[in-house]
Chains A and B, each alone.
Chain A
């Protein structure tokens, strides 16, 4: 139950800038996911909020309190660690009660809270066991229960599901979302898994090279990437990019086709489209009536993925992926005729790497 404000937080290790002046406000009870490849600074940022790491410059506010000089225990936070950090020498009960014992809570209240959170995480039958007798998924549940038992203002999660197998991860994802929605805490959740990020987050902050590139809802990040990096990182397969050369009056030459685009004076920009936002008219030479000004794509590799067929093609000698219907009759070597869904085309400036608006 608190707003988190991160003001100009930067972190340097010697000469290496791990974080470049991060500014971010996380609303009360919001579920914010920090998403990025390893080494992008997302865990460092989380640990700075937790107090396990000190920022070189900048401030962290939780609610009305500036916390970046406080010890972790005085920040009103709880954390779930990547390797769970469930104490092996304590029973599940004592693990969940750890934070409460440290706060010198009455036994009655400890019992109540441990029971409540254990029931919430479906581990009420394991309270007498030790961590060594639990599976990875159960340990994960203990770690979450331990964090929730302290009823923190802010819950920090550092890749909590990354050590679970795929099926369990999907199950826990849904469960965590439900549990956290009821808990009224503000959550920062670090992950490198975009599916996890998109399925759980109220808002995703995509990080790259120690900066936040974009912080928006899952759909917004997917549909309207603020930068080239976001488009190429989010989505599986990611966005397609083609070089576009200026042909004047806001028109651009993309792979031999003239397309209406942003009205800038740059010589060359990037045309971008998601693989599933492509309308395929047919194959060249099969007599279908391709509309005037359609693009062509030479099919190279086909990957039948069940729900759809992924075709890796070449367009103007650049890699281009198209999502096709699973039963589409295409062979490697075919040439597809396609056009983009007009409202889904995005443009990027190759120098700043930022999105260009089409007004």
Chain B
């Protein structure tokens, strides 16, 4: 027998770590967002943030990017995971190759895609070489935010689908084969087996993957900077601008709280949307 305090004792180091490196800085940021240098509570930083002309654009862009990237990634990862799980040989090899982008930093990923899309990039020289265009065009200019958006979308999908894939492959591996056989015998074709067995039984993994991805999507920054500069403002980019260019940590903190708020709401929404009733759990 061990003393009753032992579990708490064992939890202490990680609790301390979380407090010092997460809770305390979080408290500081929250403090900064609401309290002036002279120590007065105020909402002026939020008002300042909200009244700035870039806030609405940045907010909309961030949400739109997340809405475009995450569902697409989840669908793609589901399809890829199904393919991988159906493979008899070479499964691990394919999985390794598909997860290579995970090892590349997001700034590097942004630069790779910049090399494709910029005026002297691969895409331009290819189109020119095939005679579609006479001279290189500026694809990522400020007049062309749609194209910037698309390039960011592609780079994000390329970079971060693998994390969803890995979680889903692991989740699919946990579904007993007998359920699929039973479904097959009782008349379910491929698609029905996917919707009636795979999806419902994959809910816990889908939940994890989506929460992770959505939070990452709201923090999108380096890829946007590399491909769009300031032509496509996003929330995270605004934090950087306020903190370092405009030297206003208070408004930057207000922005940070906005990201936190939408991350938490989305997490709750996903948890609720993909919940499994207690009695239906395996």
Contacts and interface: CB of A to CB of B under 8 A. Distances in A.
Interface of A: 50-52, 71-73, 77-79, 81-83, 85, 87-90, 98-99, 102-103, 129-130, 132-133, 146, 150
Interface in B144-201: 176, 178-179, 181-189, 192, 196-197, 200-201
B276 interface: yes
B185 A73 contact: yes
A146 B179 CA distance: 13
A73 B179 contact: no
A130 B186 CA distance: 19
A52 B185 contact: yes
B131 interface: no
Interface of B: 176, 178-179, 181-189, 192, 196-197, 200-201, 203, 276-277, 279-282
Contacts of A85: 176, 178-179, 181-182
A50 B185 CA distance: 7
B129 to A, nearest CB: 48
A88 to B, nearest CB: 5
B192 A72 contact: no
Q: Say what secondary structure dominates the interface of chain B.
A: helix
Contact of B282 (A77, A90, A132): A132
A305 to B, nearest CB: 37
Contacts of A129: 279
A130 B181 contact: no
A333 to B, nearest CB: 53
Given A81-B178, A102-B192, A130-B280, A52 B184 contact: yes
B281 A73 contact: no
A182 to B, nearest CB: 21
Contacts of A130: 277, 279-280
B220 to A, nearest CB: 34
Given A72-B184, A89-B200, A102-B192, 20 more contacts: A73-B184, A73-B188, A73-B189, A77-B185, A79-B185, A81-B181, A83-B176, A85-B179, A87-B182, A88-B282, A89-B203, A89-B276, A98-B186, A98-B188, A102-B186, A102-B187, A102-B188, A103-B187, A130-B277, A130-B279
Nearest to A149: B186
Contact of A83 (B178, B192, B197, B201): B178
B196 to A, nearest CB: 8
Given A52-B181, A81-B178, A89-B200, A150 B186 contact: yes
Shortest Cβ-Cβ A-B pairs, 3 listed: A102-B187, A99-B186, A85-B182
27 contacts: A52-B184, A71-B184, A72-B185, A73-B185, A73-B186, A78-B185, A78-B186, A79-B185, A81-B181, A83-B176, A85-B178, A85-B179, A87-B182, A87-B197, A88-B201, A88-B281, A89-B200, A90-B280, A98-B196, A99-B186, A102-B188, A103-B187, A129-B279, A130-B277, A130-B280, A132-B279, A132-B282
